[in-house]
Chains A and B, each alone.
Chain A
Amino acid sequence: MGRAKIGAIIGREFNYRVRKRTFILGTILMPLLVVGLAIAPVWMATVKTGGDKVIEVIDRTGQIVSELQSQGTIRFEPTDRPLDEIKTPNRDDIYGILTIDTVANGDPTGLKLYTYGPTSIEVEQTVVRQVRDIVEKEKLRTYAIDNLPQILQQVETPVNVETFRIDEAGDERASSSTLSMGAAYLFGFLIYLFVFMYGAMVMQGVIEEKSSKVLEIVVSSVRPFELMMGKILGIGLVAVVQFLIWAILIVILGMAAVAWFGANAALGATPTEIGNLSGMAELAYVDPQALEALRNMTDPGYVTGVFGGFIAYFIGGYLLYAAMFAAVGSAVDNVQDTQQLQIPITVPLILAIIVLFTVMRDPQSSIAFWFSMIPFTSPVIMMARIPYGVPAWEIALSLALLYGGFIAMVWFAAKIYRVGIFMYGKKPSLREMCRWITYKN
């Protein structure tokens, strides 16, 4: 009978929340937002901003302009007319004017770029790079070395350090510290965010029940403990379902975006164009070894491990903190009163985020180890370590401590909750709340 009741509470909590408009919107919009933010920079790079950027070049050396090559949207046009004549205000047929005065001791001087709008970094760098390359090539030519191009090609030395991680079984896997670091930050931060988000939902739910006076009817049918657990588990179920939908949608949308964008990029953009961009786009053109690492990180076994770890730590962290949030919610009549009482919840979570930055850089340090064992910080910190690879026993111990911590926390929280839900009026202090633990029923 008790199980049927707790089932009814979980069911009510779940059904009520997943039918809310905010839930449905959030569940759909979040993946759109994430994928959108990821592909936006890449997409924007492929979109031609305005027309061609025409730059008229007055080359008084006469050596450079003929070698300048149009690149992307930038087009160089030599002109013989003097600067004063072409530098009239409000010309909208050109982007700007480049003047090159002399080449003294082999170095170009008097390079000036006049533009009719803000100078873009891209244009400036293109000019600098091209002029430098041209002059350098010219200088090399004066040494009159035979077979120069072949020599240069031979001299060019690509250096790649391939990094491998030797796992417990002695197998080697390509790894990438950059990618691991990104993943560490992402997962650690997501845990923090989700625990806060859904934990606060529990707290608000408790306050709502208390202020709408519905509690008294409910606790005349079920024990306060069952009500609290039902609420925590119901919202936990909402969180897991929402997270899974997010994950699936993000993967689908992401693949769709990559397919669509990949096709477009192959058609239109040149590697240089994309190479200039930061972020996601760069990933597509990193060296083959990073690609190998990326492949390892997207290897099904690895992904399942990280994903499983995420779910285990997310649920554990959520349960632990949700119990605390429930206790705080039970003690107050409205959300405004929760600020001070939330301190024991926010401090360890924020501490975890601070430690996260250290751990990302050195996932094997003793700080990283200990904070990934303490239940209050382990969800965030261990999730940040997992992408680098963590011995199984550490994960097992940390999870055992986390879920053990949850059971202990529920025990305390239930004692506070049981007293708190019938306390109306004055907001209690933290010390008073702790005293409730010792109250008899």
Chain B
Amino acid sequence: MELLRIEHVTKRYTGHTALDDVSFTVPEGSVYGLLGPNGAGKTTLIRIINRITAPDEGRIVFDGHELRPEDISQIGYLPEERGLYRKMRVGEQAVFFARLKGLSRHDAEIRLRQWFDKFGIMPWWNKRVEELSKGMAQKVQFIVTVLHEPRLLIFDEPFSGFDPINANLLKEEILALRRSGATVIFSTHNMASVEEICDHITLINRSHNILTGTVEAIRHAHGEGVYRIDFTGNRTNLETALEGLGRLFPAERESEVYDSILIQLASHESVREVIARANAQVDIHNFKEVIPSMNEIFIGAVNGKI
């Protein structure tokens, strides 16, 4: 089931094209990473999904129909540039934003009290925003984003500016929201968090969609046929036995007990042959494919190597 489909979206500004024929599909219940270097067009795309701005070409399909103004109440958005009204009181402000999303004042207050209790920030209710620390303000913003229980959540660089404890809290909350059925779009260049929580990604570079798929599939697809063998036994014998099957590299040792070696398989050779020959020479403790991290894929893709 898809929740959101981006169809051939193009957006031009005077002087440059922010998005050029970008298409992808966000499955319902997924955590979807929207990746790309600064200025790639991520924020423009997010603004289009939020109906802040309209695409020049293409369309957005939400839950089976073209995105409508009233769908906005189904979307929660935490922008990268986070701001609150500095002079306004926290509780009052949260109620205001909830009302903008279509909640009644009454419902908003009930839900807010639950969230404030959960985060242990009830004492802040009557404080002015300017009295809060940055991390405190971000908690408030997170609550404001999710309060109306949207089906689609969009977080633009959610972890920037959070300390590790709050970042972890945020991550847990995002995963909890997913478990309760929400779909999450993440815009980030923090690749570690992508591997950790994203199922799917789309990589946008210079206004183009250059890579789309599940994190698993992409990492495997970008594997370069490199395998790692952890073993005990005579290293020279192993190297001689594997000669001709591919290029050998020394591997960083991870253990006192066994030795390790990397092999990049020549295209016509099979993994079975490697295991058979190695098995004849040494005791194999571990055999696995080395797949690149998202970070390596990201850098490779942006630099045009993929």
Give the interface of A toward B (CB within 8 A).
Answer: 1, 4-5, 8-9, 12, 15-16, 209, 212-223, 422, 440-441
Complex alpha-carbon distance, A215 and B70, angstroms = 19
Complex alpha-carbon distance, A225 and B270, angstroms = 64
Q: Indicate which residue in A5, A213, A214, A220 contacts B52 across the interface (CB closer than 8 Å).
A: A220
What's the least CB distance linking B53 to chain A, in Å?
Answer: 6
What's the least CB distance linking B40 to chain A, in Å?
Answer: 17
Complex alpha-carbon distance, A162 and B83, angstroms = 66
Give 14 CB contacts A-B under 8 Å: A1-B70, A1-B73, A8-B96, A9-B100, A15-B92, A209-B85, A212-B84, A213-B82, A214-B83, A216-B52, A216-B83, A220-B51, A220-B77, A441-B53
Complex alpha-carbon distance, A220 and B69, angstroms = 10
Collect the chain A residues with CB atoms within 8 Å of residue B69's CB: 223
Whether A12 pairs with B102 at a CB distance below 8 angstroms is no
Whether A8 pairs with B56 at a CB distance below 8 angstroms is no
List the A residue with the shortest CB-CB distance to B46: A220
Complex alpha-carbon distance, A304 and B70, angstroms = 45
Whether B85 pairs with A221 at a CB distance below 8 angstroms is no
What's the least CB distance linking A225 to chain B, in Å?
Answer: 12
Whether B97 pairs with A221 at a CB distance below 8 angstroms is yes
Whether A8 pairs with B100 at a CB distance below 8 angstroms is yes
* 4 more CB-based (< 8 A) A-B contacts, given A5-B102, A219-B52: A1-B70, A213-B81, A220-B51, A220-B79
Whether B72 pairs with A220 at a CB distance below 8 angstroms is yes
List the B residue with the shortest CB-CB distance to A224: B52
Q: For the complex, is B88 an interface residue (Cβ under 8 Å from A)?
A: yes
What's the least CB distance linking A431 to chain B, in Å?
Answer: 14
Give the interface of B toward A (CB within 8 A).
Answer: 50-54, 56, 69-70, 72-73, 75, 77, 79, 81-88, 92, 96-97, 99-102, 141, 144
Whether B87 pairs with A16 at a CB distance below 8 angstroms is yes
Whether B54 pairs with A441 at a CB distance below 8 angstroms is yes
Collect the chain B residues with CB atoms within 8 Å of residue A16's CB: 85, 87-88
With A12-B96, A218-B100, A220-B77 as given contacts, are A212 and B85 in contact (CB-CB < 8 Å)? Answer: yes
Collect the chain B residues with CB atoms within 8 Å of residue A15's CB: 92
Complex alpha-carbon distance, A222 and B144, angstroms = 15
Collect the chain B residues with CB atoms within 8 Å of residue A214's CB: 83-85
List the A residue with the shortest CB-CB distance to B105: A8
Whether B83 pairs with A215 at a CB distance below 8 angstroms is yes
List the A residue with the shortest CB-CB distance to B95: A8
List the B residue with the shortest CB-CB distance to A210: B83
What's the least CB distance linking A29 to chain B, in Å?
Answer: 21
Q: Indicate which residue in B54, B72, B87, B99 contacts A4 across the interface (CB closer than 8 Å).
A: B99
Complex alpha-carbon distance, A216 and B97, angstroms = 12
Complex alpha-carbon distance, A1 and B102, angstroms = 7
Complex alpha-carbon distance, A46 and B106, angstroms = 60
Whether A216 pairs with B81 at a CB distance below 8 angstroms is yes
What's the least CB distance linking B187 to chain A, in Å?
Answer: 13
Complex alpha-carbon distance, A356 and B284, angstroms = 98
List the B residue with the shortest CB-CB distance to A230: B100
Collect the chain B residues with CB atoms within 8 Å of residue A222's CB: 100
List the B residue with the shortest CB-CB distance to A8: B99
Q: Indicate which residue in A4, A212, A440 contacts B102 across the interface (CB closer than 8 Å).
A: A4
Q: Indicate which residue in A8, A220, A422, A440 contacts B50 across the interface (CB closer than 8 Å).
A: A220
Collect the chain A residues with CB atoms within 8 Å of residue B72's CB: 220-221
Complex alpha-carbon distance, A145 and B116, angstroms = 102
Whether B85 pairs with A5 at a CB distance below 8 angstroms is no
